[in-house]
Structure formats: C-alpha cells, structure tokens
C-alpha cells in the first residue's frame, strides 16, 4: 500500500462526491460533517461504478440497482432495491441480487496534510 493524494480539501464539497483515483483504483471522496471520507468507486453487487449515484446525507445510492452505502464507513444500508431507479418488489429483488448477499463497499481512512487529502491504497 502506498500513501496517495486523492484531492485537495477545496475540491471536496459537502453536497456531492468527487471521483478520484489512487494507484489505478477509482475512489469517491466526500466531506461528511467535518470528516473527509473515501470509498471504492465499485459497487460490491456487480462491480459497477457508484460515481453517478444519488448522494445524500453521507450515503450514495448505486445507480444500477439501488444499493446504498455510507461514504464514511462503506457500510451497506440497503441492498438491491431497484432497477434503473424503479423500485423492485420482494421476489424481483431476490432475482436481481443474483445470489449475492449484502456486502459493504471498501472504504479508506483519509488523512489530511495541510490542504491535501491522502489514502493508503
């Protein structure tokens, strides 16, 4: 693992996620309260990017099937709830999950030095 700069504090706002990268890995950075947070830009359901998902109150919703993840912990808070933004009924959710069980997304500890933000990746 290598310490890698992912953003400057001035790049990160409270109301949206910033797409960045570290050692070839795509990551999302956000400011939640006073804390800078980062997760992998890769949904653990099917490995698709989370970056274009709706972001609200420190939680990003996967744009593909609606799984939700906390930016600061990577914790999964909802799993496969929709398809292309349309809510799925129970049986369809199970089919869409394709046998995958709720999984957290990889998260990173963000450190700050001056105006720069880093993760170990």
Count of all residues that appear for the chain in the document: 121
Q: Is 107 in the site for ligand FES (CB under 6 A)?
A: no
Residues 51-80 that bind ligand FES (CB under 6 A): 62, 64-65, 67, 80
Report in angstroms the alpha-carbon separations of 74 from 13, 17, 38, 46, 50: 19, 14, 8, 16, 12
Residue 23's nearest CA partner among 10, 11, 38 is 38
Q: Is 43 in the site for ligand FES (CB under 6 A)?
A: yes
User: Smallest gap, in angstroms, from Cβ of residue 93 to ligand FES?
Assistant: 10
Q: Is 106 in the site for ligand FES (CB under 6 A)?
A: no
Pick 11 or 92: Cβ nearer ligand FES: 92
Helices (H), 15-79: none
Q: How many residues bind ligand FES (CB under 6 A)?
A: 9
What CA–CA distance (Å, rounded) separates 44 from 37? Answer: 18
Q: Is 48 in the site for ligand FES (CB under 6 A)?
A: yes
**Residue 13 CA from chain centroid, whole number:** 15
Residues near ligand FES (CB under 6 A) are: 43, 45-46, 48, 62, 64-65, 67, 80
């Amino acid at each position: 693992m290598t310490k890698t700069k992912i953003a400057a504090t001035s790049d990160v706002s409270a109301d949206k996620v910033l797409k960045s990268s570290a050692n070839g890995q795509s990551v999302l950075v956000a400011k939640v309260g006073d804390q800078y947070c980062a997760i992998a830009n890769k949904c653990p359901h099917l490995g698709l990017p989370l970056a274009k998902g709706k972001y609200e109150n420190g939680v990003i919703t996967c744009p593909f099937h609606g799984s939700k993840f906390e930016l600061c912990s990577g914790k999964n808070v909802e799993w496969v709830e929709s398809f292309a933004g349309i809510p799925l009924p129970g049986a369809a959710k199970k089919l869409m999950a394709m046998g995958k069980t709720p999984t957290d997304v990889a998260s990173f500890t963000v450190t700050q030095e001056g105006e720069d933000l880093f993760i170990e990746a």
